[in-house]
Amino acid sequence: MNRPIELAAAPRILIPGPRRASPAPYVLPPLPYPENALEPVISSRALQLHYRKHHGGYVDTLNRLVSGTALADLSLSQLLLEVAGQPDQALIYNNAAQIWNHSFYWQSLSPNGAGTCPQVLRGLIEYSFGDLETLEEKVSAVAMSQFGSGWVWLVLDGKSLQVLKTSNADNPLLQGLKPLLAIDLWEHAYYPDYENRRGEYIAAILATLINWDFAADNLSVA
CB of 50 to Fe ion, least distance (A): 6
Stretch that binds Fe ion, among 37-45, 131-139, 181-189, 203-211 (CB under 5 A): 181-189
List 35, 170, 184, 213, residue binding Fe ion (CB under 5 A): 184
- Bridge partners (DSSP) of residue 210 are 109
CB of 125 to Fe ion, least distance (A): 26
Integer Cα distance of 191 and 188 in angstroms: 6
Comparing CB distances to Fe ion, the nearer of 57 and 118 is 57
Integer Cα distance of 161 and 117 in angstroms: 15
Type of residue at 125: I
CB of 34 to Fe ion, least distance (A): 18
Question: Using CB under 5 A, which residues numbered 129 to 148 contact Fe ion?
Answer: none
Quick note: the x/- pattern for Fe ion over 35-64, rule CB under 5 A, is: -------------------x----------
Cβ–Cβ under 8 Å, residues 119 and 82 = no
Asked if 190 is part of the footprint of Fe ion (rule: CB under 5 A), the reply reads no
Integer Cα distance of 155 and 182 in angstroms: 9
List 100, 104, 186, 214, residue binding Fe ion (CB under 5 A): 186
Residue whose CB is nearest to Fe ion in the complex, by number: 184
Which is nearest to 152 in space by CA: 193, 191, 110, 205? 205
Integer Cα distance of 55 and 27 in angstroms: 10
- Bridge partners (DSSP) of residue 33 are none
Q: For Fe ion, how many residues bind (rule: CB under 5 A)?
A: 4
Residues at the interface with Fe ion (CB under 5 A)? 54, 184, 186, 189
